[in-house]
Amino acid sequence: MSRQLKQGSWLILWALLAGLPYFSHAAEAPGALTVIVKDQLTERPLPNVQITIRERETAASQTLATDELGRIVVEQLDPGLYSVNVSKSGFAALYEPSVRVVTRKNIKIEFDLRPQAIEVVEVRAQQTDPFASASSTYLDREALRSAVGGGADPLLSLDGLPGLASASEFASFSVRGRGPRDNLLLVDDFPFDKAVHFDATLGEEEDVGGGGRFSIFAPNVISGAEFSPGGWGPAYGGRAASLLKLDVADGNPSPSASLRLDLAGYEVGYDGPAGITDDATLLVSARRLDFGALFETIEELDIGEPVLRDIIVKSVIPINQNHTFEILMIDTHEDYSRDVTHVFESPNFEDAALQDSEQDSDLYGLTLRSLIGDKAVWTNKVYYRNSDKVSSEGEAFPDLVPEGSPAADFPLREDIITIGEAETEIGWRSDFETVNQWGLFSAGLRVTQIELDYHTVLDGDWIRFVYDDDDFRPDPDQRFIVLEPGNINSAINQKEMSYAGYVDQVFEHGDWDFSTGLRLERDGFADESVASPRFSVNWQPGRTVRYFATAGLFYQSPRYLELAANESNALKNEKISHASVGVKYFPANNWSVLTEAYYQHLDDLVVDLDRASGTFANIGDGTSYGVDIVINGILREGLYATATYSYNDAVVDRKDGRGEVAAEFSRKHVATLGLTWEISDRWKVAGRYKYLSGRPADNFIIHADVLGPGQPLRYSKEITERNVGRNSGSGLLNARVDYRRAFGPIDLTAFLDVINVTAASAGDDTEFDYRRGVLVQDDSEAEPLIGLRLDYAW
């Protein structure tokens, strides 16, 4: 059966499921909402907050007030969509236009109100740092799990945020010209850079540089994501492209179990009381996805067999009114293999690589959050993180046997190169925050011990047919490079302590607030101490406009793989000097227009010197500047629109005599236009069109018969100039349909999310086939993602 036919059968199955008669169901049992409101600065509960809940279908509304614990419980609500208005004198009001009530389930939603004399009602209830850059964006649980193009992955749901470019159906993304690995990612404020599966260490260049494929998070696990494309405060460091803070969801007040199915596997979960104390909650999510079985089903037999497994457990245990204890456990595993049977299925044997990789990655974290006095919050976190990854690559030679020979007859060279990456990290993070006479003061300390055990083993000389013209070759006329064990084999077994501390004071004066902070760091692996001043200013003279600016120094630590590649790689931190100015304008309630211009000066950039020896050095510099524009609004109730445009000009001088060239991940233009329509309580449709300029392209020469007479025919690709042109741009259309219905005690949700509906071609991803001497472009086709979730509440 062809791939198209099988995909069509799934679409028919989904349509039959979702197309059940609209009236063929009994009345759904009511649900409930628990609303909790806190002061955003002090985290204390706010009593007497006016909560207005309005049902979308009937327009019926009710207004209630929070109790002394800052909460209300609204019961006997008909399942469906509601809007929630939250207001209190002296605080900025919030409006959440779409909250779903589910049959038999009590769902908890939290709001943080910021003290503010000026009333500002934004499009959605924002939970970002009140003194952060206005370009910081918060996406709640519903926005993440139902975003067009997001499928079953919360990181895919970030598409359309300011400065962010996501070019495929995978979870990796770049921001303002920087690469996917330059983004700082925290999970419940714990550092966890292993949050994306299949981040390739070996393989083609586009795979190794891609930043991974699928996040470790099931779609309902993350309660909120706060994203900042630059200019954040001194509490965070280590990466400089963007800051992404993911919050794992707490359990709800009522218990429920879930089962989610998609084409690749399943997820099971529990969400509800933990039974430890009265208000203790527990969330458990476990999933297994076997993409190898999926690829066999859709007859994509040359890709390989990726399998992943994720277990996430979080419990929130209030000890008393002032102290809360949290436990977070993440256990992930991935396994990818590609053997000679997959090479046999590769068209024209254009990909003859044999690959194996396996990674286990775990995080165990404890948090104690304490309210001190009337206005202070002290948060302490201790954690243990462990990651163990082994990758190997070999090669098959299908052209050395007669045409039509079975795969078993192909000559093989297995495990030519093997790379091991073992990391163990133990850390303590302490943050103190209090309201004082000037505004808000915060300070914190980070202590981290990291142990690395990395090794690279090359099993004999290995000819590589893609190289730079300045890579070492003993004979300048040799049209390939040879990796030799003496130059490639390396190992690092090192344990280092790193420290960081910060202070930050926000000064509030009328319509103005100024933030000045300093971060001090000692990086054990770079053997370097650095200071990072950070500044920001906000001015909001009225309810319709907010002006803001940020400035500061940011340092980015070198990758451990680069440190381990050669014992001579004594690398230090990259230095980024950042400044931005912007304005956020509110032309009407529920409409906002954000414009931010930025400039960054890049120093001490790590550049690779020679592929044949794995050497790197901090000799690069460059600049990056641009502008981001974001428009958000509600056209009418249930109909939401968003439009973004990002311009970026990022250049890098690698000090190779060629001057400044475009940065590897820079895209001049990224534009998106999105529309979401909640048709009814059951149906929601959404679409997003995006245009992306092409990434930089290389000038190269293809040489023929480089091995000479009597040897197999091989071609090579000699890169003569890096990043001097541009690949062609691409326009992609994503579309999504969500459907929900209750069948007795079971609440069913289903979605169909189609990425690249029109199968538009993108010119960025090509591979060099050294057997035929041609560039092979990845086929562009529509990617349908289908999911089905069953929830049972009791």
pLDDT at 745: 87
- Token readout for 773 is 């001497």
pLDDT at 7: 42
pLDDT at 293: 82
Residue 523: count other Cβ atoms within 10 Å of its Cβ. 22
- Confidence grade of residue 13 (pLDDT, cut at 50, 70, 90): very low
- Token readout for 607 is 């550049």
Does residue 392 have a pLDDT over 80? yes
Tens-digit pLDDT profile for residues 319-335: 999 999 999 999 999 99
- Token readout for 681 is 């309580």
Least confident of 98-102, 140-144, 778-782: 778-782
* Average pLDDT over the chain, rounded to an integer: 90
488/613 Cα distance (integer angstroms): 6
Tens-digit pLDDT profile for residues 507-525: 999 899 999 999 999 999 9
Tens-digit pLDDT profile for residues 422-457: 999 999 999 999 999 999 999 999 999 999 999 999
Q: Which amino acid is at 453?
A: D
CA angle 323, 328, 332 (to 5 degrees): 175
Residue with the larger pLDDT of the pair 646 and 210: 646
- Token readout for 601 is 């000066």
529/239 Cα distance (integer angstroms): 16
pLDDT > 70 in the chain, percent: 93
Q: What is the mean pLDDT of residues 194-213?
A: 81
26/6 Cα distance (integer angstroms): 34
Tens-digit pLDDT profile for residues 82-116: 999 999 998 988 888 899 999 999 999 999 998 87
Beta bridge partners of 751: 738, 787
Does residue 119 have a pLDDT over 60? no
Q: Which amino acid is at 157?
A: S
Q: Which helix H or strand E contains 232, and what residues bound it?
A: none
Does residue 123 have a pLDDT over 70? no
- Confidence grade of residue 28 (pLDDT, cut at 50, 70, 90): confident
Q: Which helix H or strand E contains 315, and what residues bound it?
A: strand 305-318
pLDDT at 206: 65
Distances (CA, A) of 167 to 277, 535, 665, 692, 748: 46, 33, 11, 8, 31
- Confidence grade of residue 11 (pLDDT, cut at 50, 70, 90): very low
337/392 Cα distance (integer angstroms): 10
Residue written as token pair 């050669």: 566
Contact 712, 399 (CB under 8 A): yes
Residue 720: count other Cβ atoms within 10 Å of its Cβ. 13
Distances (CA, A) of 745 to 26, 68, 284, 431, 721: 11, 34, 21, 44, 63
Phi, psi of 621 (to 5 degrees): -145, 175
69/533 Cα distance (integer angstroms): 38
Gyration radius from the chain CA atoms: 27
Q: Is 562 exposed, middle or buried (0-12, 13-18, 19+ CB in 10 A)?
A: middle
Q: Which amino acid is at 275?
A: G
Phi, psi of 384 (to 5 degrees): -130, 130
Closest to 787 (Cα-Cα) out of 289, 449, 329: 289
Distances (CA, A) of 199 to 195, 285, 288, 300: 10, 22, 18, 21
Does residue 22 have a pLDDT over 60? no
Q: Is 297 helix (H, G, I), strand (E, B) or coil?
A: helix
Q: What is the largest CA-CA distance in the chain?
A: 87
Q: What share of the chain is helix, strand, coil (3-state, %, to 5)?
A: 10, 55, 35
Tens-digit pLDDT profile for residues 342-386: 999 999 998 999 999 999 999 999 999 999 999 999 999 999 999
- Confidence grade of residue 291 (pLDDT, cut at 50, 70, 90): confident
156/213 Cα distance (integer angstroms): 10
Contact 539, 507 (CB under 8 A): no
Residue written as token pair 């998106």: 672
Tens-digit pLDDT profile for residues 528-558: 999 999 999 999 998 899 999 999 999 999 9
